[in-house]
Amino acid sequence: MASNVILKNVNKVYPNGFHAVYDFNIDIEKGEFIVLAGPSGCGKSTTLRMVAGLEEISSGDLVINGKKVNNVAPKDRDIAMVFQNYALYAHMTVYHNMAFSLTIRKVDPVEIHARVMKAAEILGLIPYLNRKPKQLSGGQRQRVALGRAIVRDPVVFLLDEPLSNLDAKLRGSMRKELMQLHERLNSTFIYVTHDQIEALTLASRIVVMKDGYVQQIATPKEMFDNPENLFVAGFIGTPPMNFLHGSIDNNGEYFIHESSGLKFKLTDHQQDIIGSYIGKEVIMATRPEYVFIDDLHLKQNSENVFEFNIDYTEYLGAYHLLYGAIGEENIISKVYTRQEIVDKKIKACFDMNNVHFFDIETTKRIR
């Protein structure tokens, strides 16, 4: 499929000299749902605003549908943007809010009516067309903001934290609606969020950024299973990954955990790739989902059992989170059991097939 949006070595340096985005590169295919994720200040909104034309691109190329658009005005870029604060016109009805951008573009009124009605139908807004924004709920307002973008029939939808003003429950249902909307429109979406649940559930590919640098671009599954570096490993997934400091033994067979002195046996694959780290310090990382306490796993992973000192547990209905330590390092285990966990010291194990090792200097995953 042809690339729909290309960013090539895109940089942003603000007039005060602050370098907010470094060498951003991505090829986005038509119909992709790209989520830009990362902590506050990492440069995701700046990137989106450069695509929208609301911020000048300091260097690099932005190509939309085969045409370089660095110097094309926002209104001529074939994009539509949805903001966090909806930015609806308070004095206009829902209908006129949606029609407005087409009216100022002097689109034929018959065409405007058809497009507004179609968008209203897709978004379930037909009963509210004569209401003003203040007579709507937060979710309905967000839908009107989406409707304003849909009527434009843009090549690319740009969404900047569109759900962050909604309460948790509504966010959940709007996530589902956004997914369905994207499927129905089959347009390209670029979506900014700092919420990694939104990133995992919505994206066809996630871009994780930190301090203006892209850390990894991957599908949600790839990013969850194979994070490129320690930052991504800690950012994607709740609760976050467990990190253990230690070193590889001189035979390249075991990870020796520093603070407990315990040894964990590397898989054959890990022994193959660990070559240059023999005898060196590394970080071992594993998700809470792969720290087990049940008999079956303890038996299957008998070489990798340890004493888990539990500080406290959280009961979350279908599962428990166990917070504790191995040696002096804190770890979390997510266990699917309905039994109450009362012991403060229990046997636990790592499934080494689901463990990664990271270089302590570069923070990159060893592979």
Q: Rounded to the nearest whole angstrom, what is the least distance from the CB of residue 78 to ligand ATP in the complex?
A: 23
Q: Is residue 196 near ligand ATP by the rule CB under 6 A?
A: no
- What the block records as the tokens of 166 is 């909604």
- 320-329: Cβ within 8 A, 24+ apart: 321/239, 321/288, 322/293, 326/244, 326/257, 326/259, 326/260, 326/262, 327/257, 327/258, 327/259, 327/260, 327/261, 327/262, 328/259, 328/260, 329/243, 329/244, 329/245, 329/257, 329/259, 329/260
> Considering only residues 40, 71, 186, 339, which one is a binding residue for ligand ATP as defined by CB under 6 A?
40
257 binds ligand ATP (CB under 6 A): no
Residue 337: how many other CB atoms lie within 10 Å? 11
From 33-41, 100-108, 236-244, 273-281, span contacting ligand ATP (CB under 6 A): 33-41
- The verdict on 188 binding ligand ATP (CB under 6 A) reads no
Helix axes 109-123, 94-104, angle to 10 degrees: 140
Q: Nearest distance from residue 231's CB to ligand ATP, in Å?
A: 14
Instruction: Tell whether residue 208 is a contact of ligand ATP (CB under 6 A).
Output: no
Contact with ligand ATP (CB under 6 A) among 9, 14, 109, 238: 14
H/E stretch holding 183: helix 168-185
Rule CB under 6 A: is residue 186 a binding residue for ligand ATP?
no
The nearer residue to ligand ATP, 15 or 66, going by C-beta atoms, is 15
Closer by beta carbon to ligand ATP, 19 or else 176: 19
- Which CB sits closer to ligand ATP, 194 or 356? 194
Q: Is 89 in the site for ligand ATP (CB under 6 A)?
A: no
Nearer to ligand ATP, 171 or 257 (CB): 171
Burial category of 323 from C-beta neighbours within 10 Å (exposed 0-12, middle 13-18, buried 19 and up) = middle
H or E element: which one contains 197?
A: helix 196-202
User: How far, in Å, are 249, 270, 351 from residue 354 at the CA level?
Assistant: 20, 11, 6
Among 10-18, 90-98, 105-113, 239-247, the segment contacting ligand ATP (CB under 6 A): 10-18
Q: Which is nearer to ligand ATP, 43 or 246 (CB)?
A: 43
Nearest Cα to Cα of residue 189 among 219, 149, 158: 158
Token duo for residue 83? 């903001």
Q: Which CB atom, from 58 or from 313, has the smaller least distance to ligand ATP?
A: 58
Region binding ligand ATP by CB under 6 A among candidate stretches 2-10, 42-50, 304-312, 344-352: 42-50
Which residue do the tokens 């990894």 mark? 216
Q: How far is the CB of 43 from ligand ATP (least distance, A)?
A: 4
**Residue 45 binds ligand ATP (CB under 6 A):** yes
Task: Count the neighbouring beta carbons within 10 Å of the beta carbon of residue 172.
Answer: 14
Residue 228, SS3 per DSSP: coil
Side chain identity, residue 47? T
Minimum CB distance to ligand ATP smaller for 57 or for 335: 57
Judge whether 133 and 97 are in contact, CB under 8 Å: yes
Shortest distance, CB of residue 87 to ligand ATP, whole angstroms? 16
b/e string for 24-50 if b means 16 or more Cβ within 10 A? bebebeeebbbbbbbeeebbbbbbbbb
* Distance of closest approach, residue 200 Cβ to ligand ATP, in angstroms: 17
Strand order in the sheet with 156-160: 79-82, 156-160, 188-193, 33-37, 205-210, 213-218
Under the binding rule (CB under 6 A), the answer on residue 85 touching ligand ATP is no
Nearest approach, Cβ of 232 to ligand ATP (angstroms)? 15
- Nearest residue relative to ligand ATP (C-beta): 45
Please report how close the Cβ of residue 164 comes to ligand ATP at its closest, in angstroms: 9
Query: Is 194 a binder of ligand ATP (CB under 6 A)?
Result: yes
Residues that bind ligand ATP (CB under 6 A): 14, 16, 18, 20, 38, 40-46, 194
